[in-house]
């Protein structure tokens, strides 16, 4: 099937849908030229002992190295959304978007205009740190400034507890976002899988939940994913190139 036909088929599915769940992976973020931040997402799911949750908590030397690493991600504040992020935000403005489920930790969906409450961050966020004792959150930039001024490690100002980047590390209990994402996946009528090869679980279950509940499946991705054979539309192109074209056509049809 030609790309033009695939785009038109997707436009019709979006127009017919009432509750769209958009699932995004690293293929969406890398179009913003943030390979370093992509690698930081990998840290949240790695099985390496270096970044495993028990090691972080129990080994001050590892924590010190971790803070030096995370301090480099002050660059995240300078990174801007790309056309894919803005196209997804347009879905929300049209009243079509139920939520975004993302494996990315960069906060670019929110920067593009998707409401905070509609973004489910399965692997957490680089924008925040959290206290492991009282769960208070701190903006990453606030702590990064302190680290840049020479602090080796900072603690919670409320309870003195240990702070950790608010990404999900190997060995850490699954966050509430996992069950929230499952619920939304089961209740949507169109699931759009964008820029993800679905190599990490339980994130990879989300499109399966949607399919089991009768939702249509659109995949826009360079490469393959385990659910490709279930797709109603499969487009093997970059998201930033294809999705804006789809959304512009949807907007045009809705305007007439």
List, by residue number, the catalytic residues.
123
| Coil, helix or strand at residue 45 | coil
**The two structure tokens encoding residue 56:** 């972080």
* Residues counted in the chain: 256
3-state class (DSSP) for residue 77: helix
Contact at 8 Å (CB) between 190 and 13?
yes
- Phi, psi for residue 69 in degrees, rounded to 5: -70, -50
Pairing of strands 233-235, 137-139: unpaired
In the numeric block, which tokens belong to residue 253? Answer: 């049809």
Sequence-ordered alpha helix ranges (H) in the chain: 3-16, 26-29, 35-43, 53-58, 60-71, 83-93, 108-112, 140-148, 176-187, 206-212, 239-255
Structure tokens at 178: 């996992």
């Amino acid at each position: 099937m030609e790309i033009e036909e695939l785009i038109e088929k997707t436009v019709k599915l979006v127009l017919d849908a009432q509750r769209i769940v958009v699932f995004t992976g690293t293929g969406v973020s890398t179009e913003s030229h943030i390979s370093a931040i992509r690698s930081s997402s990998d840290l949240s799911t790695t099985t390496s002992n270096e970044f495993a949750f028990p090691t972080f908590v129990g080994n001050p030397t590892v924590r010190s190295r971790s803070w030096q690493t995370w301090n480099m991600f002050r660059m995240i504040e300078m990174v801007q959304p790309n056309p894919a992020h803005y196209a997804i935000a347009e879905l929300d403005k049209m009243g079509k978007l139920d939520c975004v489920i993302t494996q990315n930790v960069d906060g670019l969906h929110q920067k593009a205009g998707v409401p905070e409450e509609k973004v489910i961050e399965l692997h957490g966020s680089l924008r925040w740190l959290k206290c492991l004792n009282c769960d208070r959150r701190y903006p990453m930039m606030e702590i990064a400034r302190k680290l840049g001024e020479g602090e080796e490690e900072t603690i919670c100002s409320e309870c003195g507890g240990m702070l950790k980047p608010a990404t999900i590390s190997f060995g850490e209990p699954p966050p509430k976002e996992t069950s929230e994402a499952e619920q939304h996946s089961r209740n949507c009528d169109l699931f759009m899988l964008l820029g993800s090869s679905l190599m990490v679980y339980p994130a990879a279950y989300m499109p399966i939940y949607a399919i089991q509940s009768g939702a249509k499946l659109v995949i826009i991705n360079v490469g393959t994913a385990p659910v490709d054979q279930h797709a109603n539309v499969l487009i093997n192109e970059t998201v930033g190139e294809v999705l804006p074209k789809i959304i512009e056509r949807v907007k045009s049809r809705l305007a007439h």
